[in-house]
Amino acid sequence: MASSSSLLLPTAAAAARRSPSGHRAPPSAVLSPPRRLATLRCLGYARRRPQARHVVACASAASAGSLEALIFDCDGVILESEHLHRQAYNDAFAHFGVSCEPASASATDAPLYWDEAFYDDLQNRIGGGKPKMRWYFGENGWPTSKIFETPPSSDSDKEKLDWKTERYKEILKSGTVKPRPGVLRLMDEVKGAGIKLAVCSAATKSSVIMCLENLIGLERFNGLDCFLAGDDVKLKKPDPSIYITAAKKLGVQSQNCLVVEDSVIGLQAAKGAGMSCIITYTPSTANQDFSDAIATYPDLSNVGLEDLKLLLQKSLVTG
């Protein structure tokens, strides 16, 4: 095996060789291309060192950003759910005669009704079912109903107004609701590759469990490496608590997690936790500002595991 000096320096004969002007010929004139390149780099003729250092840095960053966990939001991601939630709210309002009108009003007995435009705005600002109702009734007054002739005053009575969750469960159990395209395939692909899989939702735990059992099946649900609902954290999205907690439970660094969300509230939560996020938007969220997402899709039909790995590595290198 040749010594290192013979690979890096010209031979004695080559060193004695001179140019017509009497100056030593540059190393490139006397060496074969592979040895010429090594010599040029050694003697400082090559100008590729900064680029080489950049390539090494990029390779290190890509390695550090390997995908170790994929985290799904539930509502809007696993199923297109907002129209179902709105239906459940309005069904509950009608069933219990919920009205925010003062008792002396001469209005009809029509119950409270949230139309599509109002609900789209509400759900894009406030995460979770109970927080939505608390905010609305806090702004418009706690309602009367068939349960309460006068607006409830105690916290325990206010909690009784959460009838909507039960109605939502009934809708999910009906068998008419299907997962969004590509979700089940991608979940199976991730688990098959040994990558951790989680679901983090701002909804109540009972509601999310019902959703997952009916839409992804018991086997996939029981195979999740982490499952968190709104009940498991003190603050709801856009606060990052739920994703920070998930990373700890999964035992992975935030930078190695990739989140799938459908709304700017979820995107803000993921970014706040130091995680990259892709968006699969719905009709009610399509016009939101997703500039902080690393990719945006109408659904997951054409998104595979290798796509996600490359996206995460690229986001770390360029970020």
Supply the residues annotated as catalytic: 73, 75
Q: How many CB atoms lie within 10 A of CB 3?
A: 8
Task: Give the Cα separation of 301 and 39 in Å (integer).
Answer: 52
Task: Give the Cα separation of 239 and 46 in Å (integer).
Answer: 50
Task: Give the Cα separation of 187 and 217 in Å (integer).
Answer: 12
Query: Which sign, positive or negative, has the C-alpha torsion 120, 286, 65, 198?
Result: positive
Within 13 Å, how many C-alpha atoms sit on residue 202's CB side?
Answer: 28
Closest listed residue to residue 276, CA positions, set 237, 305, 315: 315
Task: Give the Cα separation of 117 and 101 in Å (integer).
Answer: 21
Q: CA torsion, points 106, 110, 115, 121, in degrees to nearest 10?
A: 60
Quote the strand ranges of 98-246, DSSP E: 196-200, 226-228
Q: How many CB atoms lie within 10 A of CB 35?
A: 18
Task: Give the Cα separation of 182 and 315 in Å (integer).
Answer: 23
Within 13 Å, how many C-alpha atoms sit on residue 128's CB side?
Answer: 23
226-228 and 196-200 beta bridge pairing: parallel
Distances in Å between the Cα of 296 and the Cα atoms of 161, 179, 303, 306 are 37, 18, 11, 16
Task: Give the Cα separation of 236 and 75 in Å (integer).
Answer: 14
Spatial contact of 295 and 278, defined as CB atoms under 8 Å apart:
yes
